[in-house]
Amino acid sequence: MATVMTNFNDTLLALLENLASERGMSVSEFIRETMIERIEDEQDLRDAKEALKELEEDPTLYDFEELKAEWMK
């Protein structure tokens, strides 16, 4: 596992400590969980943009029952 170091001013560090404490976490755990959530959000955004691009290229929409019938063959 890699270690990443960063610097925080006193105000931001106090905020991080308070937020982490409210959640029963260490500052490191809080930062790690927050970064994981951000990474997941960024991936979701990329996926949504790709899906929108695909929809713009082929705007054909299918009804659930049509898809179900097709897949149940």
pLDDT confidence of residue 53: 96
> Which of 2-6, 28-32, 34-38 is predicted least confidently?
2-6
CA distances from 60 to 16, 29, 57, 63, 69 (A): 47, 44, 9, 10, 17
pLDDT confidence of residue 13: 97
CA distance 64 to 33: 36
Q: What is the mean pLDDT of residues 36-59?
A: 96
CB 24 within 8 A of CB 30: no
Rg (CA), the chain: 21
pLDDT confidence of residue 5: 93
pLDDT confidence of residue 62: 85
Residue 44 has pLDDT above 90, yes or no: yes
Q: What residue ranges do the domains of the chain occupy?
A: 10-71
